[in-house]
Amino acid sequence: MTDPDRRLIVPTPGFGSTAAGSFLAQLDDLSRRLAADTRALTPAMLEWQPRPGMNTIGMLLAHNAIVEVFWCLLGLEHHARPLPPFHDLLGIGEDDDGMPLKPGGVPPATLAGKSLSFYDDLLERARAHLRRVARGLSDASLDEELTIQRPNGTVLVINRRWTLYHLLEHYAGHYGQVLLLIHQYRDAHPVA
């Protein structure tokens, strides 16, 4: 008999909330899959655009790291604006992903020529920060409503459970875009 195909999500141990540990386990599974799907990418592939104004794979990877830190600071730690400097946590700034690009825009110079190891490091730094913060969350703290004033003056009310959900759905959405860009790159650059 062959081994069965097993697909299990087990909450990451050591968290004050099983739900938070479950969200981290899901994010870690997506990260593992994304890493496997991007191992062969070169710097040229990471900065390729289907056309000007469209995101690159590198931009999407940097964006996932930046957003993970952004929502961790704002929606889990509930920092007031201005947020602590992203350079201290990631080594790049909050806007260094170049997103959103203007119509006809090109990738930011901050990402030019970067290798996959650069993006792996960004994503791991972001996840390490999230793990540190999420370990201390309790089930009760996940449901606490937080009021966030947006830069335009409007108010957003969230809870930490939504923040973890948003990190998961955001990461998954951009993972799908990365897969599409890999497919488009291969179509545009067939191997002879």
- Entry pTM: 0.94
CB atoms within 10 A of CB 125: 17
Give the residue ranges of DSSP H helices in the chain.
Answer: 18-38, 43-46, 57-71, 86-90, 116-135, 139-143, 160-188
Mean pLDDT (the chain, rounded)? 95
Give the C-alpha separation, 156 to 147, whole Å. 6
Residue 55, φ and ψ in degrees, nearest 5: -65, 155
167: buried, middle or exposed (CB in 10 Å: 19+, 13-18, 0-12)? buried
Q: How far is CA 181 from CA 127, 149, 190, in A?
A: 23, 35, 14
Tens digit of each residue's pLDDT (9 = 90 or more) over 117-133: 999 999 999 999 999 99
Contact 69, 129 (CB under 8 A): yes
Q: How many alpha carbons lie under 13 Å from residue 183 in its C-beta half-sphere? A: 6
* Residue 9 main-chain phi, psi, to 5 deg: -115, 120
- Residue 93, CA distances (Å) to 27, 56, 58, 125, 149 in order: 23, 18, 15, 13, 21
pLDDT in tens, 32-78: 999 999 999 999 999 999 999 999 999 999 999 999 999 999 999 99
- How many CA atoms, within 13 angstroms, populate the side-chain half-sphere of residue 86? 21
Provide the residue ranges of all domains of the chain, joining segments of one domain with +. Answer: 22-188
Closest by CA to 133, choosing from 11, 13, 12, 16, is 16
Alpha-carbon distance values, 11 to 25, 27, 44, 100, 123 (Å): 5, 11, 37, 34, 20
Pair 75, 163: CB distance under 8 Å: yes
Q: Which fold has domain 22-188?
A: Four Helix Bundle (Hemerythrin (Met), subunit A) (1.20.120)
Interval 85-99 mean pLDDT? 95
164-169: average pLDDT: 98
Question: What does the pLDDT read at residue 1?
Answer: 61
Query: pLDDT value at position 2?
Result: 74
